[in-house]
A and B are shown apart, each in its own frame.
Chain A
Amino acid sequence: MTRAELVEWARDIYDDLDFTVVRQWLAEHPTRKAAGYLPVYAPRELLHATGFLPVGVHGGGDRLEIIRGDAFYQSYICHLPRSVIELAQSGRLDMLSAVLFPSTCDVIRNLSGMWKLLYPDVYVRYIDVPQVPDPGAAAEFWAGELNHLLDDLAGVSGHRPTDDELRHSIAVYNETREMIRTLYALRRERPWDVPTEELYLLLRAGESIPPETFLARARQYLAAVEADPKRPRDNSRVVIVGAFCEQPPLGLIKSIERAGCYIVDDDFLLGNRFLTHDVPADANPVRALADAFIRNDMASSVLYEIDPMGKRNLMKNRVAAASADGIIFATPSFCDPALLDQPMLRAGAETAGIPCIAFKYAENTGQFQQFREQAGTFADSIKLWGAA
C-alpha cells in the first residue's frame, strides 16, 4: 500500500464512529467479544489474552453531535465524557461487553459508576493503578488487581488464558510498543517524512483493530515512508504536552503543523506506549506486567510524581530528548490532570529557557484559525530567538 492509501485506510477508521471494523471483527469471530478502555493506561495484554478485541474509547471528537451527552454533564466538565456517553447512548458502543475505566481522573472514575447503572449487562471495572513505584506493597497490590481483572475478564469472555497465552499477548504488545517507539523516533529524526497527522491517524486506527493488524499496517507505513521521502522545511520543532486524554481534533494537529511546527514529541494516545520498556515475556506473566508498571519511567500528569524535582525537570528532559525548540501546552478545557500540572511544568520549562505557549481546546473545537495564528507566531519567534 502507498502512504496515501494507508493514511486513507486509517482515516476511514478514525472517522467511523460506528466502529465498523470492530463490528466486522466480531462478525468474523462470532465466539469472541470486544472490550473498551478509556484513557490513559489499561493493561491491554489481559484483554488480548482473554480473547477480547481491545478497543480504545476516545470520544467522538468533532465528528459527533452531542444530543444526549449534555444532559449528563454540567458545562464545567470536560468534553470527553459527554461524547463517550453520547456514543454509548446512541448505541455505537453496544458491541462492547466490557469497559475499563483507568484512574486517570475523577471524571473517568465517576463515569465507571455511571456505566454500571446505565449498562448493567456490561462488565465494568475501575482500574486503580498504583501511584508510587514501590516494588513491595504497590507491586503486590497491582499484581492483585491484574489477577482480579484477569479472572473477571476470563469469566466474561469464557476464555481463561494459559500462562503461555498471556506471555504471547505480552510479547505482542511489546512489539506494538516497540513499533510505536520506532515511529516516534523516525518522526523525531525526520519529521518531514512522518507528519503527525499521518502518525496520529495510524495510531488511532490501532485503537480499534487487533494489535497484529496494527503491526502489519505500521510496517507497511514504514516501508511507504522510505519509498516516498519528503523535503525538509525550515520548521520549528515543538513538543505537545497535555493532550493525553481528551484528544484534540485532527484539525488542530494539522493547524499546528501547517503553522510551521514539526511536532517531534507529544502525549496523544499516551496509553499505547505508557510502558516504556519491554515486559519480560518469559516470567510469571501477571507479575511481570505488574513489575513493569512499577519499574516504568513514564512521567505523566496522571500519575503521582515521587521525585520532588520531577515536575521541574520533566519538560527540560523531554525537549532535550526530542531536540525540540519549544513546547506547546495544548490542554483540554477543564482537564484537571493537565491543567493542575501545567504551572509546575511550565515553570520548569521557563527556568530552563524553553519557549512555551499554552492554549486550551475541546475535542469538538471547530475553529482553528486562532490556534494556527498562535502556533505560527510561536514558530516564527522560535526561529528568531534561535537565530539571535
Chain B
Amino acid sequence: MAEALKDRSMVLQKEMIANHFERLAQAPETGEKVVYTFVPGNLTELIRSFGALPVLPEINALQSGMRKLSGEYIAEAERAGHSEDVCTYVKCDIGMMRAGNIGPGGTKLPKPDLLLLSYTGCYTFMKWFELLREEYDCPTVMFHVPYQGDGKLEPEHREYMLRQLREQVIPALEKVTGRKYDEEKLRHHLQLSAMAEDDLVAVLQAGKTVPSPIDGYFGTVYYVGPIFSAFRGTQEGVDYYRALREEVEERSALGLGPITPEGPLEGEKYRLVVEGPPNWTHFRDFWKMFADEKAVVVASTYTKVGGTYDFGFRHDPNDPLGTMADYCSGCYTNLNLPARIDMIVRYIEEYKADGFLINSVKSCNSFSAGQLMILREVEKRTGIPGAFIESDLVDPRYFSAANIKNRLESYFQMIDARRAGRTA
C-alpha cells in the first residue's frame, strides 16, 4: 500500500516536471513568456499570475550535477575565464548555456524574456544575472530583499520590498508579458500555495516521529523540489503535496522508516539534523553512507532555502504583495547567523536528534562563511558534538568519498560511545 502511494507522488512529480520542461521547450512557438529567477525569494505566484513560466537556474545546475554533466560544464566555464574559486552553480549554468542550454528535461531551454533578479540571501545572485545578461538580450529587474541582519524583518524593509514590487517588478512583468497585473489571479495562486505549504509542513514535521518516516534532507530535497521551483501556487503543486502527505502519514502510522535509494530504511539508529546544501554529483553515494549506517536525517536547514514554512509562515492571499515580501525575507539564507543557530538548536530539540552535521560546500559563502562558528555554538547550546564535512555542490573534484565516509563512521562511533557512556 505504502509503496503504491509512494509511487503516486513520484509519478506525479515526474509528470509535472516533464510537462513543465516540455512547455518551456515549446515556449518559442507558443509565445509563452519565460522568466529566469532564483529559488530563494522566487516570486512564482506573481510570475504565474502573468501567465509566464519560471526557470530556476540553480535547479538546472543541481540537475546537471546529478546527471554527471556539471564537471564538463564547469570546465568549459573555467576555460572561458571563470575563476576556480567561485560558486560552481554559476559556472555550471554558464557551461550549460555554452553547450547549447539543454535543460534537465533533455530539451533546449528557452531564452529568458526577463531576468527577475530576486537578490535574496546571496550576493552571488547579482553577479550571476549580470553574467547571464551579457549573453541574453533581455531586460533585468532587480528586487532587493534586505537581509535580516538584526534577526527580524524590519517594517521599513518590508515597505521597501512592497514599493519595489509595485514600482519595479510588476511593471517589468507587465511590459514583458503585455498583461495587466491581476490581483485576483495572484490571490488565487497564493491560496494554492498556502494549501500546498500546509501539506509540506505536515511532511516535514513527520520527521519528529520516532522512527521518522521521512529523510529530512536527502529525501526531502525531492519533496521540496516542486514548491521551490515552478509549482508553488499551482494545482499540480497542491495535488502533489496532498499525495505526498498521505503517503508519509501512512508510513508514519505503520511505523515505517524513510524510502532510500536502497529501498525502505528500517531500524533507524541515528537521528541527525543537517546544515548546508548536499553534494549533487555523488548524491546517491552520499545518501547511502547515511542509509548504510541506518542514520536518518530528521530535519535540515537546506530544505528551507526556498522558504521557511515550519514555524508558521504561509502565503496569505489577503495580503498578496506583503505576503511575498514576508516570504522572501524568511528564506533561510536571508537569516542572520544567530537565527540560523537558533533554528538548528530548535530542530535538534524538537526532532529528538542525537547528532548534527554540517556539510560545508566550497561554492557557497552565503551558507559556508561562519559555519565553524555555528558548529561551536550549537555544540555549546545542546551539549551534542557535531560533525563537519566538506564537499561541493556540483563540482565533482571536491567530493572525496573516502574522507567523508571515514568522517561519518567516526562520528557515528562517537554517538555510540556517548550513548554507551550514558547507559553505563
Q: Nearest residue in A to B366 (C-beta to C-beta)?
A: A106
Question: Could you name 14 residue pairs across A and B whose Cβ atoms are closer than 8 Å?
Answer: A81-B369, A109-B123, A109-B366, A113-B337, A113-B340, A117-B338, A117-B341, A128-B147, A141-B163, A144-B160, A335-B85, A343-B80, A343-B82, A346-B81
> Do the beta carbons of A132 and B142 come within 8 Å of each other?
yes
Q: Nearest residue in B to A310 (C-beta to C-beta)?
A: B130
Q: Chain A interface secondary structure, helix, strand, loop or mixed? A: helix
7 A-B pairs with the lowest CB-CB distances in the bound complex, closest first: A113-B337, A126-B149, A340-B127, A137-B163, A141-B160, A339-B83, A110-B370
B401 within 8 A of A: no
> Do the beta carbons of A109 and B144 come within 8 Å of each other?
no
B352 within 8 A of A: no
Which residue, of A117, A331, A336, has the highest number of chain B Cβ atoms within 10 A?
Answer: A336
B134 within 8 A of A: yes
A111 within 8 A of B: yes
> Do the beta carbons of A74 and B134 come within 8 Å of each other?
no
Which residue, of A105, A113, A132, A343, has the highest number of chain B Cβ atoms within 10 A?
Answer: A113
CA distance A251 to B147 in the complex (A): 37
> Do the beta carbons of B133 and A340 come within 8 Å of each other?
no
Q: Which residues of A contact B83 (CB under 8 A)?
A: 331, 339-340, 342
Besides A74-B362, A138-B160, A336-B127, 17 more A-B contacts (Cβ < 8 Å) are: A73-B369, A73-B372, A76-B85, A76-B362, A105-B123, A106-B365, A110-B366, A116-B337, A117-B338, A131-B144, A132-B144, A136-B163, A137-B163, A340-B86, A340-B124, A342-B81, A342-B83
> Do the beta carbons of B86 and A339 come within 8 Å of each other?
yes
**Smallest distance from the beta carbon of A264 to chain B beta carbons, Å?**
25
**Smallest distance from the beta carbon of A1 to chain B beta carbons, Å?**
42
> Do the beta carbons of B168 and A134 come within 8 Å of each other?
yes
Q: Nearest residue in B to A303 (C-beta to C-beta)?
A: B126
**Smallest distance from the beta carbon of B8 to chain A beta carbons, Å?**
40
Which residue, of B122, B154, B336, has the highest number of chain A Cβ atoms within 10 A?
Answer: B336
A296 within 8 A of B: no
CA distance A113 to B164 in the complex (A): 27
A110-136 near B? 1/0 per residue, CB < 8 Å: 111110111000000110101110101
A71-86 near B? 1/0 per residue, CB < 8 Å: 1111011000100000
B323 within 8 A of A: no
B207 within 8 A of A: no
A140 within 8 A of B: yes
Q: Which residues of B contact A360 (CB under 8 A)?
A: 85
Q: Which residues of A contact B301 (CB under 8 A)?
A: none
A9 within 8 A of B: no
**Which listed residue (B127, B156, B338) contacts A141, Cβ 8 A?**
B156
Q: Nearest residue in A to B333 (C-beta to C-beta)?
A: A106
**Which listed residue (A125, A137, A304) contacts B119, Cβ 8 A?**
A304
A306 within 8 A of B: yes
Q: When A74-B360, A117-B337 are in contact, do A337 and B149 touch as well, CB less than 8 Å?
A: no
B29 within 8 A of A: no
**Which listed residue (B123, B368, B371) contacts A337, Cβ 8 A?**
B123
B87 within 8 A of A: yes
A334 within 8 A of B: yes
Which residue, of A74, A101, A145, A341, has the highest number of chain B Cβ atoms within 10 A?
Answer: A74
> Do the beta carbons of A334 and B85 come within 8 Å of each other?
yes
Q: Which B residues fall within an 8 A CB radius of A?
A: 80-83, 85-87, 90, 117, 119, 122-124, 126-128, 130-131, 133-134, 140, 142, 144, 146-147, 149-150, 154, 156-157, 159-160, 163-164, 167-168, 336-338, 340-341, 360, 362, 365-366, 368-373, 377, 390
A315-352 near B? 1/0 per residue, CB < 8 Å: 00000000000000001011111011111101100000
**Which listed residue (B119, B140, B142, B362) contacts A308, Cβ 8 A?**
B140
> Do the beta carbons of B147 and A344 come within 8 Å of each other?
no
A26 within 8 A of B: no
CA distance A110 to B119 in the complex (A): 16
> Do the beta carbons of B163 and A140 come within 8 Å of each other?
yes
Q: Which residues of A contact B160 (CB under 8 A)?
A: 137-138, 140-141, 144
Q: Which residues of A contact B149 (CB under 8 A)?
A: 101, 109, 112-113, 125-126, 128
CA distance A144 to B157 in the complex (A): 9
CA distance A107 to B372 in the complex (A): 13
> Do the beta carbons of B142 and A136 come within 8 Å of each other?
no
> Do the beta carbons of A110 and B140 come within 8 Å of each other?
no
**Smallest distance from the beta carbon of B190 to chain A beta carbons, Å?**
23
Q: Which residues of A contact B126 (CB under 8 A)?
A: 131, 304
> Do the beta carbons of B144 and A130 come within 8 Å of each other?
yes
**Which listed residue (A74, A136, A344) contacts B371, Cβ 8 A?**
A74
**Smallest distance from the beta carbon of B70 to chain A beta carbons, Å?**
18
**Which listed residue (B146, B147, B365) contacts A336, Cβ 8 A?**
B365
**Smallest distance from the beta carbon of A349 to chain B beta carbons, Å?**
12
Q: When A144-B156, A308-B140 are in contact, do A114 and B373 touch as well, CB less than 8 Å?
A: yes
A103 within 8 A of B: yes
Q: Which residues of B contact A77 (CB under 8 A)?
A: 365, 368-369
**Smallest distance from the beta carbon of B164 to chain A beta carbons, Å?**
5
Q: Which residues of B contact A107 (CB under 8 A)?
A: 365, 369
> Do the beta carbons of B130 and A304 come within 8 Å of each other?
yes
**Which listed residue (A103, A141, A343) contacts B131, Cβ 8 A?**
A343
CA distance A281 to B326 in the complex (A): 37
**Smallest distance from the beta carbon of A365 to chain B beta carbons, Å?**
15
Q: Which residues of B contact A111 (CB under 8 A)?
A: 369-370
> Do the beta carbons of B369 and A340 come within 8 Å of each other?
no
Q: Which residues of B contact A337 (CB under 8 A)?
A: 123, 127
**Smallest distance from the beta carbon of A34 to chain B beta carbons, Å?**
21
Q: Nearest residue in A to B85 (C-beta to C-beta)?
A: A334
Q: When A106-B122, A113-B338, A116-B336 are in contact, do A336 and B144 touch as well, CB less than 8 Å?
A: no
**Smallest distance from the beta carbon of A137 to chain B beta carbons, Å?**
4
> Do the beta carbons of A117 and B373 come within 8 Å of each other?
yes
> Do the beta carbons of B142 and A131 come within 8 Å of each other?
yes
